[in-house]
Chains A and B, each alone.
Chain A
């Protein structure tokens, strides 16, 4: 037990201000995360609306992904178009009603997220930018070394596709919690974070349950994300470590890993460089003020 604790600890360290919290033995000063000048400029004047618009771009992607797997689309469900077209995706042949039911629940949550975040951002809501799932997933498959990866090909491939996006959603919401100024929006962001955590707990537990084949495919996706989002280890695969599963991507404090929006964009654009404005799933980039890696 102790040995396993040590292993896990050496794999996954502190993030952001937790070290400060613990070291001081009290909740007091905040730590400053060093940022490059360019990123600092993007971050400097960010409003809560900017952060929610960033989340909205991600929600557009996630929601159409889940709905398309169920044979629906965002435009079809809402009866209107929120912007540019979405390319790719098709109905998945589910083999288990329970797993299809889980995806339906997640899709329903994501539909609600779009409606809610658009209500929060109101007239400033970002329109949906062009989304290309074919190009995005092809790039992931190539970069992750999963040449046969097509998330719409089977139930379990679809679970992998969901994991690709939503672990990122959790980490970026966690990393953004401190940036929001409005109390009510903090509570809302916490609620969104909670539901995305539920989704990933369900999906990663099923992947883990399915054994080595699917664990190793998920590990390839986790490694793909980790190669893109900077030198810090911000990702963990759902594999066995010692006598334990690794369904929760947690550090030694049992706290979820956090990502900046810029690191999330590195993954979504499929490019580890700074200053990138488009690529991967978003051929013309995100809409809104947070769009550069």
Chain B
């Protein structure tokens, strides 16, 4: 099976393909630091910092969402770059349940630390865009709420329950984005750090799913609506067999909390493929979701009305050669 026999040349092939896809839009490629032994002479835009730059957009989104909900204000000036994009919407949530407020305070700190860590890690690398992108926490949720069956005025900052549902939108996507980035990174330290961020996003997502599950059928139905809307935002072209599955059967891209598949009565706190793995989502799938647009040519929309920062920014161009 290919998942055992893949060798370093596969990485080279993947990264060369990425380079050819994205190179056209770049200048100054010769200044890039080549990554990986087999790539010494290849100017490659999909460097580790570029992959982290992509992740930084998602971390900005999460951190701004949680900070505004928990503290009523966004990231501090020193963490958003010299020319940050605006953030639309968001306000302090009135939490009724102390342990839930404490859980969100912790998640807020983790996400803030992710922003700080990634910024420090990539700030001096070439072709990095460190500024916060423009983020929409208002219209985006209304549109998504309509698609999810939550009505046209969904406001995740309205109360505790709504804030949990808003968090549910992001955290599963964060996990799958880091899982999908695992084989794009070259340096051992950056791989280990990404694995550690992935784990923390998993803890967050599991905690959010469990919290929803314990709140009863209404919350579960609302979350399932969100999961369906999220799945609908992915390009149909991306609903393809996962290349590393044993049985090559395509797993569902989204698992509803109410729809376990192995044992009757399952409550899905861990959405996985048939191998029990968190789904890897390649960057283009992630972009389709946060742009809330399944179009392969999508460049902006949804949570990022002006698009995302960095080399990996268009749904089409983010394709790094992963085909069925």
Which of A's residues lie within 8 Å of B, judged by CB?
1, 4-5, 8, 15-18, 20-22, 25-31, 70, 96-102, 104-113, 115-116, 119-120, 122, 170, 173-175, 177-178, 181-206, 208-209, 211, 240, 243-250, 252-258
Contacts and interface: CB of A to CB of B under 8 A. Distances in A.
Contact of B209 (A193, A202, A240, A255): A202
A245 B6 contact: no
Most buried by B among A18, A99, A178, A254: A254
Contacts of A257: 196
Contacts of B11: 183
Given A5-B109, A102-B267, A27 B187 contact: yes
Contact of B205 (A18, A109, A110, A198): A198
Contact of A113 (B112, B276, B280): B276
Interface in B96-117: 99, 101-103, 105-107, 109-114, 116-117
B192 A16 contact: yes
Most buried by B among A26, A70, A201, A202: A201
Nearest to A101: B267
A118 to B, nearest CB: 10
B113 A101 contact: no
B232 interface: no
B65 interface: no
B94 interface: no
Given A17-B192, A177-B191, A26 B205 contact: no
B139 interface: no
Given A26-B121, A199-B270, A245-B99, A256 B199 contact: yes
Most buried by B among A27, A173, A186, A243: A27
Most buried by A among B200, B203, B205: B203
Contact of A204 (B6, B121, B207): B207
A20 B188 CA distance: 11
**Which 6 interchain pairs have the tightest Cβ spacing?**
A197-B202, A191-B277, A201-B206, A194-B278, A112-B276, A108-B262
Contacts of A192: 276-277
A102 B220 CA distance: 13
Interface residues of B, number: 95
A208 B99 contact: yes
Given A105-B266, A184-B3, 20 more contacts: A98-B213, A116-B275, A170-B199, A182-B7, A183-B6, A183-B8, A183-B10, A188-B3, A189-B182, A189-B195, A191-B275, A197-B175, A197-B278, A199-B270, A201-B208, A202-B207, A209-B99, A247-B203, A248-B203, A253-B193
A107 B203 CA distance: 17
A248 B209 CA distance: 15
Nearest to A209: B99
Interface string B1-43: 1111011101100100000000000000000010000000000
B237 interface: no
B150 to A, nearest CB: 21
A191 B278 contact: yes
A255 B193 contact: yes
B214 interface: yes
Most buried by A among B2, B193, B266: B193
A240 B103 CA distance: 9
B123 interface: yes
B274 A112 contact: yes
A33 B17 CA distance: 34
B214 A98 contact: yes
B297 interface: no
A203 B6 CA distance: 35
B270 A187 contact: no
Nearest to B3: A184
A254 B117 contact: yes
Contact of B113 (A15, A25, A102, A252): A252
A143 B279 CA distance: 38
Contacts of A104: 260, 262-267
Contact of A245 (B102, B194, B263): B102
B263 A250 contact: no
A186 B192 CA distance: 10
B204 interface: yes
B276 A110 contact: yes
Contacts of B176: 194
Contacts of B303: none
Given A186-B182, A188-B277, A22 B117 contact: yes
Contacts of A194: 175-176, 178-179, 198-199, 201-202, 277-278
A245 B182 CA distance: 28
A170 B198 CA distance: 10
Most buried by B among A4, A98, A111, A181: A98
9 contacts: A30-B188, A70-B263, A105-B262, A108-B276, A111-B276, A183-B6, A191-B272, A195-B276, A203-B206
A184 B275 CA distance: 14
Nearest to B51: A27
Given A26-B121, A106-B270, A202-B269, A8 B279 contact: no
B210 interface: yes
A108 B112 CA distance: 33
B193 A204 contact: no
Interface in B109-142: 109-114, 116-117, 120-125
